[in-house]
Each structure stands twice: as C-alpha cells, then as structure tokens.
Structure 1
C-alpha cells in the first residue's frame, strides 16, 4: 500500500514546467524502435505510453469489434497466470496497465515504480507476447461488450452518434461502432483475438512516450525487450474518406422528453497549415463557456444546459462537430440558432476582441494539460502521431499568438460551410422533420 501511495503522489505532484525549456530526448533503440523521453528523477516513478497506429479501422470484414474485444481481454491472463493471477501479480508490484482501443489506434498505458520496473515490464511483456485469451475470459468480456451495445440502443446520445457516423461515412470503418454489432461480436472466437493482436501491434506503427525516473539507455533496453518480438509490419490502412454530409436534418424518432442533437460538417486536417487558426475559431464559436453558441443558445434563450463544438481530426478524415440536448418543444428553435451562428461566422468572421480573449484563454490553459507524468507521456505520443516537432510544447503558444485577425477570418471563410451543416436529432422534436 505504501508503494501504491507513492505512485499516486507522483501522478498528482509532478507538474511539467511548460514555460521552461523542455528537454525531450528522441531515442532510437538498437532494434529500431523510436521513442520520446523526458527524464524526471525527483520521484522514483515512470509513466510509459505506447500507441500503435491502426486501431479498430483494422477490423476484418465481418469481424467488427474484434480489436476492441481483444484489447479489453488482453489483461485477462498471460503465460501461466489466469485473470486473477495476473491481477494479483500486477497489484503486488503497485503497477498499473491500461489497454485502449480507438478508431485510429490501440494504446497501452503503464505506470510503475523504479524499484519494480524490471518485474513490471516482464509482466507487461507476458500480456503482449503470451496472452491467454482463455475462452471464459473472452466470453465474460464479450458479455460486457454486449451490455454496452444493448444500452446504446436506448441511449439517445449513442443513437445520434451512430446515425451521424453512418450518414457521414457509410461502409468505411468510421461509419460503424468500434464495439461492433450484436451479430459480429457474437461470432468472434478466441482465434480472432490472436489474429487481431497480430494485426494491430506491429513494430512499424509504434509510438512511444516516457516520462519519469528512467534514462535513455534504460528505456532503450526496456523497449527492445518489451516490443522487439512483435511482428514487423501491419496490414494496409483504410483509404481516406470525405464525410458525405450534404446538409439538412435527420430525425430519429425516440420517446424521450429531451431531444439529443449532433451536428457537423467536413473539417480540417491536423497537418493543414491553417489548423491553429481553425482551432482558435472553433474556440470562439463553440469551444467553451464563453463561446458564441453557449451565449446564444443557453444564456440568451435558455434552450439547453450546454452546447459545444470541436474539431475532429481522424487519421483518414476530419469533421467540425457539435452536440446539445434540448426539450422537445424548444429543440427546433435551438437548431435554428445554431444554423444562424454557423452562417454568421462564415459570412462575417470574428472580431479582434474575440480573438484576443481566445488567445489569452488558450495560452493560459495550455499548461494545465501537463499535470502529471501520465498525461505528459500521452501528449508526447500524440505529438509524434500528429507529426509535430519536439519543440512544439515550447512554441505552441507562440503559434497561437501569431494568428492575425485577417488570417483567421480567411480560414473561417474557407472551412465553415453552412450549406453542408448536417443535423441528427434523436427524440420527439416539435416542428422538426427529416429534410
């Protein structure tokens, strides 16, 4: 228990000195694995973040949900340990492992004390190289996934997301649930778990971030031992797809006192030179409590408790999206207000005052992201996957502050398209119908 408490303190107390010069070491192991490392030896604790590009988009035809089920079952026993044995061994080391499956990546988050590093990494290696995928474990986790799918059938938010994604992306993997369907998940086998792991965990798609009490040489040895025996290459990734959003409203009838609304249009790529201005523009339109959408829809008219918009940069597509809930009697008005604000910003842009306020907020809030070894390790991986340079942490606020009013308004005119703004409404909205 004492060791576990130390680990928790490390997560809470280490705050990254964003304003200071940040030394990110770019290392390549003898086995060819690249990683970014920030050494921090004041606390005997390390956070290791590993991502593999690909994710659930690599589900095979007819096997939708296999990557998600595999990642959820990966920790359910390894080597000669069943699920309980593996959990006891992990807890005895005061280590934590988290496995995640997302559309464009699968992730492994490991947290461990320096004194237990070797044992913790050996245990993690067993999970990655010798997973058991025992039938009872697969069936148990399958049941949990089925429960998620059942709940999604009667959750308005999940229903709206499902309808919007299917409309925007059709047969592309983005168009369906990462969890799969009842039929596809029911048909998954133990052999499918091994096949899915081999498809998504390959050396050519590894991204690593490490923060804490570990040297470059120690990390290099650790990574080759941990990941060096993975398959060399993975299967072809899916093609890029433009969201098929042509505007209009789709109503999905569902008996509920409040309608859930998801809206969106085509977005902007993360590697686009205008991404930072677009990010600022979104903050002004719908990014926070002081945004135009919050002011117009909630504060002035009281049509919702909250509304927001955000940029979605998938690996193979991009969106500008938003969401809110409103009473069935008021949702039509709320949709009209969103349309008006979308058209207004597209036609008129923003003001200098709005730009200054957004810059102040975004630059001030940036440091709050770096609130522990784990979040920092995830940021390092995200930077690599987005193709950002090591100095981005130091220069990001400068990039925000360098955006001019003319520049951002030109970007707004380029990317915001009221004609293709598409709404999906789940509920019983008065005065709204599919068009």
Structure 2
C-alpha cells in the first residue's frame, strides 16, 4: 500500500509527514535514526471539557481503565508485557485532548503496537478494577492537597473560568468519581474512542511506510462513529478585580497567581503578545525576575506566560514568596502589570526578547518527539497551519508598535483574578489591602472539593 502523505514543514528545515489512516483517522510521522527508539502518541480530539455535567473525571478514569484489563489479559499481565518489551506507556488528559503516550525500543515496535491495539480496542472494564481505580483516583486527589501550587492552579482555573467548561478538572472531584459506574465508563469509551476522532503520531526510528501500516492497524482497532462535538463557548473576560484566598494552615510560603484572559493563536496580535509577555516574565532576565527575585529576593521563581487552547485562554503571572512578603509582592506585581499595560515594552527590550526566542527555538525542535509534538498540537488544538512552521518569521515580524498595541487590546489590569494560597488568619487582611480597587474576596478551605 502506498502511503498517502503530505508534509508539514517545520522551522529549521525539519518536516513531519501527515498520513491518512482511514475512517477519518490521521497520522503524523517524524523519522529520525539518532536513537533506536520509537515514540507513539494516540490521541482523541476531546478532553475533560466533554465530561457530562456532574461526572467530572470520567474521561480520565475511562482512559486509565484501558491499562486495567483487555481481551485475554489482566492488568498485571498488561504491565508485565509492557515491561518485557522495554516499553513505557503514559496518559495525558487536557481540556480538549486526551493522549496515550508510548515509547519502545525499535526491535520491539511491532509487538508493542499490537499490545496497544488490544488495549485501546478491547478493554474489559472489570468491575473490581474499576472500584480499585476509583479508590486510587480519590486518594490521589486527597494527596494532591499537599501540593500548594496545584491548589493555586485549581483555584485560578475556577476563578477565571466560572461556569465555563475550562473550569473543570480532568482528575475530577472525590464526589463525582465515587458516583461513576461501569455503565458511565462504557458510555464514555464508546463516545470518545472512535476512529474518526483519532490522531496518531510516530517519532524516531520508523519509516513513513511502517507508520502507515502500523497506524492503520491501530486505527482499525477502534469502531467507526461520529466525532465528539465540544460545546465550548468563548470564555468571558473577568469583571473587576477579585481575590480568592485558599486557606491552608501553617503556610510559611505562599503561592500567588494573578491573571486574566490572554489570546487565541488565531489572533492577528497573538505573536506580538507572546513577545511582550516574555519581556514581562519569560526569561531569567525579565522584568519580574529582576524586580521580584534579583532586587528583593522575594521569590526564587517568578514568571508571566500565556496558555494556548482552542478558545481564548489565560494570561498568568506567578510568584511564590514567603508569607511575610506575600502582600508587598502582590502590590508590586499589580504595579508592574499596570505599567506593562499603560507603557508597554521598549524597543530595546523587544529586540532582546526576539533574539532570545529565535536563538532558543532550536531547543524546541531538537528531537523527533518534540517536532512531532508540535504537529500534533497544531492538529488537535486547531492552530493556524503555519503556527509552528513559521514561528521564527512570526517572531521576527513583531514590532514595538504592534507588541504594545496587543497588550493594550488583550490585557486588562482592572479585570483580573488574584489567587493566594496561605494561612488566612495570619496574612489575609494584608493581602486584601494590597489589591487596590478590589471588588470582593472569597476565602475557601484548601480541602474543598
């Protein structure tokens, strides 16, 4: 069979082949003989936002159950087979994508992919395994409450995207997980794991012809069915300044997240905003690092970044100061944000960051799995066709004028959310006083669902 391919040109001359796997499934291949390994990514075009109301965590639970038993194999036998083949299998569930990641030594590629085909195509969803995985998943959520940064991220997502699917957690909540049944899992599997929603990637020691044959076999393991339709409206911009304080006892260090809506990859001013945000907090010599870490020593790490999703997503500033420094750090960050919006970036700052982004881009595409990851990201998130392939051109085209215009257009210093994880009895009053024009604040316990 002659592969039906096209090439997606990436920066610096690399190319990723696109192949038709039949039934609506597509594949991508990034060939490299540098090491005798093959990476495989099996993705579907839906994620946590597609979980039914009140059933948060269902897709992740369903995907994790694939390794808990399949036709002719128990969970223990699957794990033993993966180990014997020298392979690795992992899982990633995002807001709008779900991916199974595998890697195996070249000589075991065929049996490893046969195993993957059985795992995704013939799961058994045994009741005892489901009950065990539910308990494990709830325990993981409870354990995650020890991670203050994770607590801050959850609170930020819920505050920035209230009543929007982006507020949902892929891991779910203890109450939602405990209510999920085998019928729920079967329904989710039948809905999400269909050939027309499948995107498969291969990177490493594999030819396009091999990827076509193996990818077709993997795609054929799933039944035909309609693609999942995601009900995903554009999220609204926050109104006013709001503070959410996650109260956790005995915190000597705090977590601060400040943010608002950012940009979409399709926006004309997306790359100007990417560059401007990097000036604010994207490098070790950024404004935030100089002011917060170097000058004051308040936080070892601090940054500003943009998230990319199918809809407009977050602009986020972060810092992790000691409790005594939390309030002044928030005040400084807000002052810096206001200056960033009102005055923008200087030509000198922009020239530096453009050179940095251009020169460091080689590290984003220096391995076959990284180049494959860019192709998959473009396909799964619906990015502009040239988003990655002309990344360097996009960056070089940014001017001080359009960078500063993008900041004024997209970022609001008056409409944002402030998240703090700390001990309310010790610093809440100071934190509230550190946020001018605050419309209101909410204190939530760290162990809320």
1:219 equivalent in structure 2: 211
Structure 2 contact 156–419 (Cα < 8 Å) conserved:
yes
Structure 1 position 270, deviation (Å): 1.5
Which of the numbers 233, 255, 258 marks the counterpart of 1:240? 233
Q: TM-score, normalised by structure 2?
A: 0.86
In 2, are the aligned partners of 1:56 and 1:104 still within 8 Å (CA)? yes
Equivalences for 1:387-402 in 2 at 5 Å? 387-388=382-383, 393-402=388-397
Shift of residue 105, structure 1, vs aligned partner: 0.8
Structure 1, unpaired ranges of 5+: 1-16
1:185, 1:296 → 2: CA distance? 43
- Residue 195 of structure 2: aligned partner: 203
Tell me, yes or no, if the aligned pair for 2:301 and 2:319 is still in contact at 8 Å.
Answer: yes
**What does residue range 138-149 of structure 1 map to in structure 2 within 5 Å?**
138-149=130-141
Aligned-partner Cα distance in 1 for 2:57–2:24: 31
CA drift of 1:143 comes to 2.3
Equivalent in 229, 245, 248 of residue 251 of structure 1 = 245
**Structure 2 portions without partners, runs of 5+:** 1-8, 433-439, 442-449
**Structure 1 residue 163, shift from structure 2 partner:** 2.6
1:251 and 1:33 map into 2 onto residues whose CA distance is 45
Does 2:309 align with 1:297? no
Partner of 1:123: 115
The verdict on how the C-alpha distance between 1:404 and 1:123 changes in structure 2, with shifts beyond 3 A counting, is same
1:431 equivalent in structure 2: 430
1:143–1:375 distance in 2 versus 1, CA, 3 Å: farther
Is the 1:271–1:387 contact (alpha carbons within 8 Å) kept by the matching residues of 2? no
Whole-angstrom CA distance in 2 between matches of 1:248 and 1:315: 25
Superposition RMSD in Å: 2.3
Residue 321 of structure 1: aligned partner: 316
Q: Is the 8 A contact 1:198 1:231 kept in 2?
A: no
Pair 1:132 & 2:127 matched: no
- The yes-or-no answer on 1:334 pairing with 2:326 is no
1:380 counterpart residue number: 375
Deviates more, 1:254-263 or 1:39-48: 39-48
1:33 to 25, 32, 36: 25
Q: After superposition, what is the alpha-carbon deviation per residue over 1:250-272, rounded to whole angstroms, capped at 9, x for unaligned?
A: 33333212222111111101221
The residue aligned with 1:70 is 62
Aligned to 1:299, the other structure's residue is in SS state helix
Cα separation, 1, equivalents of 2:318 and 2:123 = 39
Provide the rounded CA distance (Å) in 1 between the counterparts of 2:92 and 2:113: 18
Closer, same or farther in 2 for the Cα pair 1:298/1:186, shift >3 Å? same
**1:146-161 alignment runs, 5 A limit:** 146-161=138-153
1:287 corresponds, among 282, 291, 300, to: 282
Asked whether the equivalents of residues 167 and 244 of structure 1 are also in contact (C-alpha less than 8 Å), the reply is no
TM-score by length of 1: 0.89
Determine whether 1:23 maps to 2:15: yes
CA distance in 1, matches of 2:224, 2:48: 18
Q: Secondary structure at the match of 2:307?
A: strand
Q: Does the Cα contact within 8 Å between 1:66 and 1:193 map onto a contact in 2?
A: yes
1: distance between equivalents of 2:40 and 2:147?
35
Displacement of 1:100 in angstroms is: 1.9
Question: Do the aligned residues in 1 keep the contact of 2:57 with 2:176 (CA within 8 Å)?
Answer: yes
- Give the equivalent residue in structure 2 for 1:3: none
Q: Give the deviation of 1:214 after TM superposition.
A: 2.7
Following the alignment from structure 2 to structure 1, what is the Cα–Cα distance between the partners of residues 230 and 22?
27
For these two proteins, the number of residue pairs brought into alignment is 419
Q: Distance in 2 between matches of 1:371 and 1:227?
A: 29
* Segments ≥4 residues shifted beyond 6 Å: none
State the shift of 1:130 in Å: 0.8
Specify whether residues 119 and 252 from structure 1 end up closer, same or farther in structure 2 by C-alpha distance, changes over 3 A only.
closer
Whether 1:54 and 2:53 are equivalent positions in the alignment is: no
Shift of 1:206: 2.5
- Counterpart-to-counterpart distance in 2, 1:88 and 1:372: 29
Q: Residue 393 and residue 149 in structure 1: after superposition, are their counterparts in 2 closer, same or farther (change >3 A)?
A: closer
Q: Secondary structure at the match of 1:164?
A: helix
| Aligned twin of 1:166 | 158
- CA distance in structure 2 between the aligned counterparts of 1:44 and 1:261, rounded to whole angstroms: 43
Q: Partners of 1:81 and 1:182 in 2: how far apart? A: 29
